[in-house]
Amino acid sequence: MTLRGTDFRNRLWVAPMCQYSVEAQDGVATDWHLVHLGALARGGAGAVIAEATAVVPEGRISPQDLGLWDDAQVEALRPVTAFVRSQGSVPGVQLAHAGRKASTFRPWSDEQGSVPEADGGWPTVAPSAVAFEGYAVPREMSRDDVVGVVEAFRAAARRSVEAGFGLIELHAAHGYLLHQFLSPLSNERTDEYGGSLENRARLLVDVVRAVRAEVGDELPLLVRFSATDWAEGGWDEHETATVAGWSRDAGADLFDISTGGLVAGVTIPVGLGYQVPFAQHVRETAEVDTGAVGLIVSARQAEEVVAEGRADVVLMAREFLRDPHFPLRAAAELGVELDYVPAQYQRAPFRTA
């Protein structure tokens, strides 16, 4: 597959997975990131997209998140991207701002919810002063704050290129800041960033346009959407398709379609491939390239998604955690000969069970 000037060796990519493993709480990558992301590239993925990486300090989901708000963070990522490239994979990064879901304890902490300022947390911001259930009430952003977010994404995109990333994904899903602006359940603004769909999408489209202008014409740019809030009166797949079209016109190339994350306590019909129909809907309605994600767990299941035209790319997360070499095993199962099995591993041919 080719997007703009970048060739991908296959259509099986690593979805961003938060690692919450920055040791000094300074947003700087560690050896964990090198080994984790490097192993996924060695395992045959077409692209490896690094975790949600904050564009400003207050945009981190947890104090242990990666960041690209400072030039000092660039240097630590260069060995990571260089190794991923050396294994034939495209290194990508997901740029993010967590908004009202920022400053939280990492999942395996003994505590949950918002981290108190006394323990290294910080006040959060959002389109409106509406809290996510169990979290601190955020401060409603001023217009200057919103404009500042656009510039923060622009600067982080520049640093992404300097760090060696060959693909950028903008995180507009899972209840984080850009998603918070998109959904009427979290956006109660009455200015040009609230109300109508065009207004709610304004921040995202401005960010897409700014990032495209910053990185030039050759770099692939993705947007991750939650195609539905799974809640009455919330953001849905029809609005997602419309805004995907607007984002394509602003410079985005492919849309990574997930669901949920904006509100707690909703009923989600989880099952194998349960989010694939949303990727297909956006692909067909907006006439854009999409990626499918969500409980895609086998080679044949992934192959069918692409072969049937339901999505252009399959992104996996948990399956890569279970087996970083999943693409090599998938090729063996599907009877595909690859020329990028690591020479060091050729004494142990990849076979089906």
> Which residues are tagged catalytic?
176
Q: What is the DSSP string of 275-299?
A: THHHHHHHHHHHT-EEEE-SS--SH
312 φ/ψ angles, rounded to the nearest 5 degrees: -95, -25
Alpha helices in the chain (DSSP H): 31-42, 72-86, 143-163, 177-182, 197-200, 202-215, 237-250, 276-286, 299-307, 318-322, 326-334
For the chain, helix, strand, coil in percent to 5 are: 35, 15, 45
Q: For residue 246, what are the β-bridge partners?
A: none
Q: What tokens were used for 289?
A: 């390239």
CB under 8 Å to 200, separation ≥6 — which residues? 181, 182, 183, 184, 187, 193, 194
One-letter amino acid of 246: W
Residue 106 half-sphere exposure, CB side, CA atoms within 13 Å? 16
The Cα-based distances of 176 to 142, 301, 333 in angstroms read 17, 29, 37
Element (H, E) at 219: none
